[in-house]
Amino acid sequence: MSFLQSIKNTVRSKSIHVSYVNVGSCNGCDIEVLAMLAPRYDIEQYGIYVHNNPREADVLLVTGAFTPQWEDKLKSIWDKIPEPKVAIAIGNCPISGCVFNRRGAYVDPPVAKHIPIAAEVPGCPPRPTEILNAVLSLAPLVFKDYEEKQS
Amino acid sequence: MATSLSYYLREMARGEWLRNFLFVKTAPYETPPHFRDYPRLTGKECTHCLACMMICPTPGAIEVLKEDEGWNPVIYPGHCIRCGLCVEACPEGVLMSGRILESQFFENTGYTWTFHLTVDSTLCMRCGNCSVACPVNKEEDPQLAATGTGENDEVIMRVKGGELRILHEEKCTGCKTCEEACPNSAIRVARVIEAIHTAEEGG
């Protein structure tokens, strides 16, 4: 491993920038994402920062069952995120549509059809610890030695 | 001003403060044992009454599947919303989650359910598919003809006098086979679920 790569690994393990996007959820999962920020779960102590700007994000948290309005927009948000990037589906909605996935409903789950999803956190809503564990366990898999894996 | 500033500088220069500031993390927050997690099997025998599937509010969250010799409910995490209704509805206590079973036992609570069948006679074509498909009808009257007509009045519904009549609503088990068989979405099954609280017998 090159020296530059080891510096990048250290920095990336201590500073994961998270952006979240609600593609038609009931807001329950968004509240759990916000609870992660609050002092009780406190994700910033693990070096995870929520900026909600895709251009400086590493991790995209997707909540919601994908309404038709997001058809082109979610893809463009995903394209704006610089590499290395990863998307995590939060809650049942982006996985299966949950209670909204009924006949005649204007939702188009799963979100994995539209952007590549690396991890799914089931639950309606998932516990903040479950979201936190997903981000923490996925980040080293994706960001560690990213450049070396590419070449 | 100067004193408070020097106080802060002195405080922050302490080794312990610096160490805490840089390295201390709160202990990982454990999931409490009473958390209503995905239902787990208790090991009791499932009788395949499908009460769990009937009461489940989410599409595709629970299924009762046959394993080797017995039936067992299977929970699908991407669909299940952890409401715990299947745990409460199961008459055999096959599933458990958090302290639902304990509180149900101490408080003597449970559910009763009936099913309400409605037929939209403007949509209904009297094809009788619902009466033929109904599994309860098949038990009551195996001779029920393909048009849903027959002489047996013990069936749930059948075409009688040129019209689909609901004869024995109370026999319905809520499987919704009739809804699926209906080409016109004319028949609807509604669950009427009541929470009950009994003083003497355990829920």
pLDDT, one tens digit per residue, over B58-112 is 888 888 888 888 888 999 998 999 998 999 888 888 999 989 888 888 888 888 8
Average pLDDT across chain B, whole number: 85
Q: Which residues of B touch A40 (CB under 8 A)?
A: 29
Question: Is A60 inside a domain boundary?
Answer: yes
Q: Scan residues 14-43 of A and list those with Cβ closer than 8 Å to B.
A: 40-42
A148, part of any domain: no
Instruction: Please report, rounded to a whole number, the percentage of residues in chain B having pLDDT higher than 70.
Output: 95
Number of domains chain A contains:
1
Using a CB–CB cutoff of 8 Å, tell me whether A151 touches chain B. no
CB–CB of A92 and B78 under 8 A?
Answer: yes
Using the Cβ of A122 and the Cβ atoms of chain B, whether some distance falls under 8 Å is answered with: yes
- Check pLDDT > 80 for residue B200: no
Residue A43: predicted pLDDT: 85
Give the CATH number, domain containing residue A70: 3.40.50.12280
Residue B149: pLDDT over 80: no
**C-alpha distance from residue B64 to each of B61, B73, B91, B100, B173 (Å):** 10, 4, 14, 20, 16
CATH number for the segment(s) B40-107: 3.30.70
* Phi, psi dihedral angles at B147 (to 5 degrees): -95, 5
| Tens digits of residue pLDDT in B104-135 | 888 888 888 889 999 998 998 888 888 888 88
Q: Which CATH class is domain B115-192?
A: alpha beta
Is A31 within the bounds of a domain? no
Question: Considering the domain boundaries, does residue A88 fall inside one?
Answer: yes
Confidence of residue B201 (pLDDT cuts 50, 70, 90): low
Strands A119-121 and A86-90: parallel
Q: Return the pLDDT at B3.
A: 86
CB contact under 8 A, B29 and A102: no
The reply to whether domains B40-107 and B115-192 share a CATH topology is yes
Does A4 map to a domain? no
Hey, which residues does B64 pair with through a beta bridge?
Answer: B73
Query: Does A150 touch chain B if contact means CB atoms closer than 8 Å?
Result: no
Chain B residue at shortest CA distance from A128: B29
Q: What are the residue ranges spanned by the domains of chain B?
A: 40-107, 115-192
Query: Alpha-carbon distance A125 to A127, whole Å?
Result: 6
Assess if residue A85 is contained within a domain: yes
Mean pLDDT calculated for residue range B182-201: 84
* Nearest-CB residue to B59 (from A102, A122, A129): A102
Residue B142 exposure: Cα atoms within 13 Å on the Cβ side: 1
Low-confidence ranges of chain A (pLDDT < 70): none
Which residues in B lie closer than 8 A to residue A124 (C-beta atoms)?
Answer: 58, 80-82
- A19 vs A12: CA distance, rounded Å: 16
User: Parallel, antiparallel, or unpaired: how do β-strands B40-41 and A59-63 relate?
Assistant: unpaired
User: In chain A, what residues touch B78 (CB-CB under 8 Å)?
Assistant: 92, 95-96, 120, 122
Angle between helices A128-143 and A3-14 (to 10 degrees): 170
Residue range(s) defining the domain that contains residue A65: 37-142
A147 domain-assigned:
no
Q: Which of A42, A98, A127 to mutate to test the interface with B (most CBs of B within 10 A)?
A: A98
- Residues of chain A with C-beta less than 8 angstroms from the C-beta of B79: 92, 95-96, 98
Interface membership of B77 toward A (CB under 8 Å):
yes
Which pLDDT band holds residue B203 (cuts at 50, 70, 90)?
very low
Tell me if the bond preceding A128 is cis, omega within 30° of 0. no
DSSP structure class, residue B91: S
Question: Which residue of B lies nearest to A102 if distances are taken between CA atoms?
Answer: B59
ipTM > 0.95, yes or no = no
User: What amino acid occupies position B31?
Assistant: T
Give the whole-angstrom CA distance, residue B57 versus residue A147.
46
Q: Say how many CB pairs under 8 Å bridge A and B.
A: 46
- pLDDT tens digits, residue range B138-148? 888 877 766 66
pLDDT at position A63 is 92
* Residue of B26, B81, B82 lying closest to A99 (CB–CB): B81
Spatial separation of the C-alpha atoms in residues A54 and A60, rounded to whole Å: 8
| Positive or negative torsion for Cα A81, A86, A90, A95 | positive
C-alpha–C-alpha distance, residues B108 and B13, integer Å: 61
Q: For residues B172 and B118, is the Cβ–Cβ distance under 8 A?
A: no
